[in-house]
Amino acid sequence: MESLSEFEMIARLFAPMAGEGAFELRDDAAVLKPNPGRDLVLTKDMLIEGVHFFADDPPASLAHKALAVNMSDLAAKGARPRAFLLGLGRAERFDTEWLTAFAQGLAAASGRFGCRLLGGDTVKAGQLILSVTAFGEVPSGRMVRRETGKAGDALFVTGTIGDAALGLKLRLEPEVSWVRRLGVEHRASLRDRYLNPQPRLSLAPALLDHARAAMDISDGLVGDTAKLAPHLGRIIDIPAIPFSPAVQAAIALAPDLLDTALTGGDDYEVLCAVPPEAEEKFAIHALQLGVPVTRIGRLVAAETGALWRDLDGRPRHFLHGSYAHF
Amino acid sequence: MESLSEFEMIARLFAPMAGEGAFELRDDAAVLKPNPGRDLVLTKDMLIEGVHFFADDPPASLAHKALAVNMSDLAAKGARPRAFLLGLGRAERFDTEWLTAFAQGLAAASGRFGCRLLGGDTVKAGQLILSVTAFGEVPSGRMVRRETGKAGDALFVTGTIGDAALGLKLRLEPEVSWVRRLGVEHRASLRDRYLNPQPRLSLAPALLDHARAAMDISDGLVGDTAKLAPHLGRIIDIPAIPFSPAVQAAIALAPDLLDTALTGGDDYEVLCAVPPEAEEKFAIHALQLGVPVTRIGRLVAAETGALWRDLDGRPRHFLHGSYAHF
């Protein structure tokens, strides 16, 4: 495949997914205006080769993931996606063939999420860098905040926890005993959760209506529950935490994986605090929206600290609360 | 100096420059709404260690530059800065001391440009990555576009051309003859233009009122005049191009540097197309705003192509039109 110049690349691969205000990516800036009565919600998640993904991950999966992790932030804020900018830092070994597959995956993700490309920047770099800035909309003044939960609020999570963390572990240590003993389908399902996160965009209306606070779970459930309400304590019932059949099977083979499931990253599920009087309405609304939610515990007064109750009712402690970059 | 966690770093170094809608950087997203009757203008320029800057450039200069190059895009679009997001990829050798100086420089630049921090992302990386997304405002529907110039329009540039390109060359080859023979003050001035670009934000009102098209000059004047009007030809009078005393002195010592001055990058001046009937008004308005502007040529019909008239009236050709990343 011939090599494309920066401008051919933009025109051929990226311009087809450009949205209104992008001027077909033939300008140095784009224009965006929220719809009447709406605020723009801005978020920015960068993915770095060797830190957030592997150089040989399928390019279409990487494109999906770069957009999906940003959509996950928008979802947790109750926002509906609108547009994004892409900063692409590229080492030479990511050639035109790679770029073409990447752009195809990005166009598919952009279509699926209803989020159009408005512009960005393409530069030479020593490693692959995917720096997405995403824009969503919420009714004015109603973005669901992170630290606004109150003592007494129920904590809910969407979907299942720990799949992606085990998917990464399995990828890093394919020869360890539990991986070899885990069924083929379970392995495939964990791997897929790591590679292809599914942001919970359909939950947004239920969060706007009923949640007092919310965030997406990206750095591990243990650390992220602390970030949700650093000013409060929390009691979490580990037996209530939803695990997929694959994660359950893995933990049965190697009980230490429970820690990995609860402290590893990349879940891209939503964690939210719901006032007691709204618990039932929230659960029903989520059900109607097709999003599975599970109550895993409650926010309590700060004095309690973080109490994770194990299967036997005793507190469980974690060595590393969450993934930290620094 | 002790080492800061990601969260301490954000709270201590970055939260003080956070703007309205940033929630003190204690959320995963921010909120932004343009003022009534305004559009948001979005731009994103990434700087990569070893590509756009040197690892040992002063951290405060790098912070200034990362914001300034984005401000330069806003300026050329007629926009007034409002807010920015910072994606910071950091290799471990950029330690807390470095980060503290970087944040001080960023706070100073943020104040100078009237552009507040709304959020971002901080990640581990193999090299330093500064990925800024900036937001400005223009009256609705009036962003100054790039490719909307017409044949007959005058081409103007702000300031002087080539200083930064020679500043970079001097940095890369400090021992060559012209550098050793150039005066100390000239050397300092070229180096400063490379390290500390000054975006032409005060020109915005004149561009909104009188320019038909505009862009900032970041990849070299020769290549950028082609990007301004790829559908047209252009005649540029090289003797009309404004050069600083330092660039003039350098070219006198080594005539080949004229090519470097015209094709090197990092000018961060504005190039614009002004209809003939508005030339005088534009020049006067720019003068009132304190921005030096110079007419360097004109857009013409496509058949003419790109004609750069040399001192002797003959056409001059350039080997490399502009800096290209790919």
Contact A119 B44 (CB under 8 A): yes
**Chosen from A88, A133, A216, A322 to mutate, greatest number of chain B CBs within 10 A:** A133
Chain A residues close to B6, C-beta within 8 Å: 324-326
Q: What is the mean pLDDT of chain A?
A: 94
Alpha helices in B129-256 (DSSP H): 163-172, 177-181, 184-195, 204-210, 221-228, 245-253
Give the pLDDT score at B319: 72
B29 vs A6, A143, A324: nearest CB: A143
- Residue B251 contacts residue B261 (beta carbons within 8 Å): yes
Residues 109-148 of B with CB under 8 A from A: 118-127, 129, 131, 133, 136, 138, 140, 143, 145-147
Which DSSP category does B260 fall into? H
Domain coordinates in residue numbering, chain A: 6-139, 154-316
Q: What is the CA radius of gyration of chain B?
A: 20
Closest CA to B83 of B105, B104, B114: B114
Domain at B154-309, CATH from 3.90.650.10, 3.10.180.10, 3.40.50.2300, 1.10.3720.10: 3.90.650.10
**Sign of dihedral through CA atoms A87, A91, A97, A98?**
negative
Provide the ipTM.
0.92
Give the integer Cα–Cα distance in Å for B304 and B306: 6
Whether B3 has a pLDDT exceeding 80, the answer reads no
Q: Is B315 on the interface with A (CB under 8 A)?
A: no
Instruction: List pLDDT tens digits, range B147-191.
Output: 999 999 999 999 999 999 999 999 999 999 999 999 999 999 999
Closest CA to B256 of B137, B149, B165: B165
One DSSP character per residue, B85-127 reads: EEEEEE-TTS-HHHHHHHHHHHHHHHHHHT-EEEEEEEEE-SS
Whether A325 has a pLDDT exceeding 70, the answer reads no
Confidence of residue A214 (pLDDT cuts 50, 70, 90): very high
Chain A residues close to B48, C-beta within 8 Å: 89, 123-126, 129
Pairing between β-strand B293-300 and β-strand B154-158 as defined by DSSP bridges: antiparallel
Show the tokens assigned to A180.
């070899």
Instruction: List pLDDT tens digits, range A51-75.
Output: 999 999 999 999 999 999 999 999 9
Task: Give the CATH H-level superfamily of domain A154-316.
Answer: PurM-like C-terminal domain (3.90.650.10)
Q: Do domains A6-139 and A154-316 have the same CATH topology?
A: no
Instruction: List pLDDT tens digits, range A85-124.
Output: 999 999 999 999 999 999 999 999 999 999 999 999 999 9
Confidence of residue A323 (pLDDT cuts 50, 70, 90): low
Coil, strand or helix: which one is A269? strand
Residues 152-211 of B with CB under 8 A from A: none
- Residue B325 contacts residue A122 (beta carbons within 8 Å): yes
Percent of chain B with pLDDT over 90: 92
Contact A133 B85 (CB under 8 A): yes
Closest CA to A160 of A132, A180, A186, A136: A186
Is the pTM value of this prediction over 0.80? yes
Show the tokens assigned to A101.
């597959």
Give the chain A residue whose CA is nearest to the CA of B122: A325
Q: What is the CA radius of gyration of chain A?
A: 20
CATH architecture of the region A6-139: 2-Layer Sandwich (3.30)
**Sign of dihedral through CA atoms B53, B56, B61, B66?**
positive
Confidence of residue A155 (pLDDT cuts 50, 70, 90): very high
